[in-house]
Structure 1
């Protein structure tokens, strides 16, 4: 009875629509209707349209039923026989990295542990700077690194600038012009880089060349290489980028000379596009080395600083500086980070207190418009990137125990993060299980996703449970990845194993 009433209602609706359309057309064209026209257009045409509607509904239901049957058959196929082996692409997609070493420096602390403790206490937050002023003469809200040792940078500055000028093939007698903010950023990078290299030195035997006179020389493993990738702020000039590359080369040779041969060190050209692009480039390099069977460690370096009059003036002209007139703009900050990654086959230290944290493949999606653009803020891309990161880790989102993000609380990024928490991670407590780092370390540009990885690795190691890192600092790019402590990863069999 109900189906008959639905069909009758559909027929009446179609008849009314056809009649209204036909009568309007006749009136608009002043058509002289004949009895044949009335019978054809007002009688037969509604029946034809009604029949076509029923036919289309039947075809749609048949297609849906066929698709459901195929899915059910595919789901039952593995149960009836032996499970299919995963393809090489699937294995590579789910294979994790190892975080061998990390170091960071920002206004909230000089290590992941210090930053995590600062986030729990909610301090130190960005504060009005004692020296820097905006266009109205008011103190600028800044996240300044205190203290910052620039002595080593000044001692090597002339030599670094000379190397940079040679790389630029410059013939000018004038030294390379570098903004004060660039100098502060490079000075901030020295400590994280030294910390990272000192941790890598524990694998000095893995980097050492085999003894040619020893009995195991013929079967000795190929010494590992260290490939270094860098990402500098997009507003740095070519000269400033060249100085940064020269400074990194100087620090690498000085701090790794005892355990790394120069032939095993490769400094790659700086990456264009920020921290997310740097991470993707490192991912490609590690996967390529793994496919070729080459032992290699990838070192990621980045730093930035907004603390100079020239840089602050540029930000204010672009309406990108947090002031009383621009309360949703970024907070001026400075930071530096170094991460050392290797594939999952990298050997563990026999006397180490804990094995390296495992990082699954990152998911990256671009927003259709910048987050700071006018209009409604959509969190759809952030939600999708979280779902894809969990799929890459083969981990249900309900099993994520913590979320670490570089969002803040004064811009649309905060609303984006809140939407992800409500829709995808409802099991997390917003106060206890979530770290919102952007509130303390400000807008950190290319270093944000890398520092986030170091912070999330610390959280996963402390909790001994999976942690999700979500980077929303960039105006367009969204990146997420799952980090697991080795004990948690070993306790659960991977789905790709046959």
Structure 2
């Protein structure tokens, strides 16, 4: 559009100037003058503008290329794994999303196209009409508040007063969902550890458990710390010994993006580390009046007049990860491999269209396929992404999948969790990974996972089929 307007403007100015000149000179132009003024002059001006732009770009690029420093920001940050990095093993996955209470339910609903946001009777827009949201049914906010308030009175948290109650209703919903998912993953960790040979007692014989809890990004530091402490308390109540629960290594507010966090775990999981299980869990809810008001004030809330806005969602999702190197118990299926992710960051928001928006995700996808092995591309049977319904995000996803995996049916084998379950930050990304793990275990196929929900962060990784002989080769 800008190029068309520029072309029309140049022609209009050239013609207007020529006509004005001939009118003032009171003479008829010759055919040569007509051709020169009406065609040659505007074309020459357009060529000079194009040439000047190219020259200016080269002059500006020269000092940037000569100066020492990081690579150009338009290039994807290749995630080059260290020599010791190996694929992680996904022992189990759990979630609570609007589309399903288990990864298998969500996968079935996504494949059948039965999972979609709906008009919400509790959240209304400025005109009093129901908003399009993705809500999880069956959450008891009052019970969650009673439990959390009693615990806060017994365990005061720094910078957080117990009165008035420091969490909003949507915060309670997030913690309630996170507590259910965490309980399932801790139970899976206990079963996995005991079936691997750890005796039920003494408790110290169990492996160490590391919790990576991704709290809502809108929380302040005190809320992050309290939410982290509350979920760790629930993990101990679930039966995991306190002495076998590793403390957090970083402040809760300094949480990495899910794909980057998985890469960090892969780097720390290489032998000869002691036996250690990891739970990566995210919980969040955007179904609150304050959250909706903020989105509406920023013109980022989906509506009939803002079709490129966000649809609020909620949920919780998590993965149970094991270190590689040991053969799985005989009575358990071989765990699914999670290969190293390729991550990158855009120099500008994804809402501003540009070459980086179109190319970075595909470049990262190629790197992820290469990290998974030579046969990964041919074995990909599904693309699982955190992409929502916004046109620019969906177009980016489809262009990437079409370029990398032309054999796939883009309408049936490319699934965007955000489009079906709404916007929920890191929860949406982990739900896409949990769904991919389910598909890999059910179908024995490779799954490419893509992340482009965040305005800047991009990521890609491959979740492989159940490991058969990889335990002896890693």
Q: Which TM-score bucket, shorter chain as reference?
A: 0.7 to 0.9
Post-superposition shift, 1:322? 1.0
TM-score, length of structure 2 as denominator length: 0.75
8 Å contact 1:406–1:436 — kept in the other structure? yes
Post-superposition shift, 1:375? 6.1
Residue 153, structure 1, aligned to residue 153, structure 2: no
Once residues 100 and 446 of structure 1 are traced to their aligned partners in structure 2, the CA distance between those partners, rounded to angstroms, is: 20
Aligned to 1:229: 212
8 Å contact 2:88–2:269 — kept in the other structure? no
Once residues 344 and 309 of structure 2 are traced to their aligned partners in structure 1, the CA distance between those partners, rounded to angstroms, is: 23
What residue ranges of structure 1 are gaps of 5+ in the alignment? 1-87, 213-220
Residue 265, structure 1, aligned to residue 245, structure 2: yes
Deviations 1:199-247 (A, max 9, x none): 11213435857989xxxxxxxx974100111112221123332331132
Residue 433, structure 1, aligned to residue 433, structure 2: no
Once residues 385 and 376 of structure 1 are traced to their aligned partners in structure 2, the CA distance between those partners, rounded to angstroms, is: 14
Please point out which of 148, 161, 173 is paired with 1:184.
173
Query: Which deviates further from its counterpart, 226-235 or 277-286?
Result: 277-286
Aligned to 2:346: 367
Please point out which of 124, 135, 140 is paired with 1:144.
135
Once residues 302 and 173 of structure 1 are traced to their aligned partners in structure 2, the CA distance between those partners, rounded to angstroms, is: 24
What residue ranges of structure 2 are gaps of 5+ in the alignment? 1-79
Post-superposition shift, 1:412? 0.7
8 Å contact 2:221–2:252 — kept in the other structure? no
Post-superposition shift, 1:163? 5.9
SS at match of 1:379: helix
SS at match of 2:309: coil
Aligned to 1:199: 188
Residues 492 and 399 of structure 1: CA distance in aligned 2, closer, same or farther (over 3 Å): farther
SS at match of 2:343: strand
Alignment of 1:407-486 (within 5 A): 407-486=387-466
Please point out which of 319, 325, 336 is paired with 1:357.
336
8 Å contact 1:472–1:478 — kept in the other structure? yes
Post-superposition shift, 1:458? 0.8
Aligned to 2:101: 110
Residues 288 and 422 of structure 1: CA distance in aligned 2, closer, same or farther (over 3 Å): closer
Residues 90 and 179 of structure 1: CA distance in aligned 2, closer, same or farther (over 3 Å): closer
Aligned to 2:318: 338
8 Å contact 1:413–1:473 — kept in the other structure? yes
Once residues 91 and 150 of structure 1 are traced to their aligned partners in structure 2, the CA distance between those partners, rounded to angstroms, is: 47
Once residues 435 and 451 of structure 1 are traced to their aligned partners in structure 2, the CA distance between those partners, rounded to angstroms, is: 12
Residues 247 and 183 of structure 1: CA distance in aligned 2, closer, same or farther (over 3 Å): same
Post-superposition shift, 1:492? 12
Residues 369 and 265 of structure 1: CA distance in aligned 2, closer, same or farther (over 3 Å): same
Choose 1 or 2 for highest CA Rg: 1
8 Å contact 2:369–2:461 — kept in the other structure? yes
8 Å contact 2:208–2:276 — kept in the other structure? yes
Query: Which deviates further from its counterpart, 244-253 or 146-155?
Result: 146-155
Post-superposition shift, 1:184? 0.7
Alignment of 1:47-446 (within 5 A): 91-93=83-85, 95-150=86-141, 153-162=144-153, 166-169=156-159, 174-205=163-194, 208=198, 223-255=206-238, 257=239, 260-268=240-248, 269=250, 271-272=252-253, 277-352=257-332, 354-373=333-352, 378-395=357-374, 396-446=376-426
SS at match of 2:349: coil
Query: Which deviates further from its counterpart, 396-405 or 474-483?
Result: 396-405
SS at match of 2:84: helix
Deviations 1:267-325 (A, max 9, x none): 41554466x62443353245325344211111111111111111211121122211223
Post-superposition shift, 1:397? 2.3
Aligned to 2:13: none
8 Å contact 1:365–1:479 — kept in the other structure? yes
SS at match of 2:93: strand
Once residues 141 and 331 of structure 1 are traced to their aligned partners in structure 2, the CA distance between those partners, rounded to angstroms, is: 6
Query: Which deviates further from its counterpart, 196-205 or 265-274?
Result: 265-274
8 Å contact 1:143–1:442 — kept in the other structure? yes
8 Å contact 1:161–1:176 — kept in the other structure? no
Residues 492 and 244 of structure 1: CA distance in aligned 2, closer, same or farther (over 3 Å): closer
Once residues 154 and 367 of structure 2 are traced to their aligned partners in structure 1, the CA distance between those partners, rounded to angstroms, is: 43
Once residues 199 and 130 of structure 2 are traced to their aligned partners in structure 1, the CA distance between those partners, rounded to angstroms, is: 55
8 Å contact 1:289–1:295 — kept in the other structure? no
